[in-house]
Amino acid sequence: GAVVSQHPSWVICKSGTSVKIECRSLDFQATTMFWYRQFPKQSLMLMATSNEGSKATYEQGVEKDKFLINHASLTLSTLTVTSAHPEDSSFYICSASPGGNQETQYFGPGTRLLVL
């Protein structure tokens, strides 16, 4: 149980284009979903927290107009990197918490983004 999927697993795009990453909770309803960025050999950096049906809460320093997050349902959240640039290249990970249990997060397998 508690499986989270991400799609795509990796993507290469040209500078200036937008990329959408999907995060789905497959066997539970996720009231809250989280988006992280992980640089090589570093820990996870929380980008934003999204609750179903409401606007995402972004961490300090994260541009909300660049990283658009939509949590349209209890099983789906999307992260769109708009007008991507090479510095946006990274490993993006989503996680999801079952309703009422925000302390435990189940993680997706991650998406590797390379912007050329």
Partner 1 sequence: AQTVTQSQPEMSVQEAETVTLSCTYDTSESNYYLFWYKQPPSRQMILVIRQEAYKQQNATENRFSVNFQKAAKSFSLKISDSQLGDTAMYFCALYSNYQLIWGAGTKLIIKP
Question: How far apart are CB 43 and partner 1 at their closest, in Å?
Answer: 4
Q: Does 44 bind partner 1 (CB under 8 A)?
A: yes
| Helices assigned H by DSSP within 3-95 | none
Six-digit token pair at 42?
A: 């570093």
Binding segment (CB under 8 A) for partner 1, from list 17-25, 61-69, 73-81, 100-108: 100-108
Nearer to partner 1, 15 or 104 (CB): 104
With contact defined as beta carbons under 8 Å apart, do 65 and 82 qualify? Answer: yes
Question: How far apart are CB 105 and partner 1 at their closest, in Å?
Answer: 7
Q: Rule CB under 8 A: which of 74-93 touch partner 1? A: 91, 93
**Number of amino acids touching partner 1 (CB under 8 A):** 17
Six-digit token pair at 84?
A: 């991507």
- What are the residues whose beta carbons fall under 8 Å from the beta carbon of 98, sequence distance 6 or more? 2, 28, 29, 30, 31, 104, 106
Place of tokens 């993507």: 11
The residues binding partner 1 (CB under 8 A) are 34, 38, 42-44, 46, 91, 93, 95, 102-107, 109-110
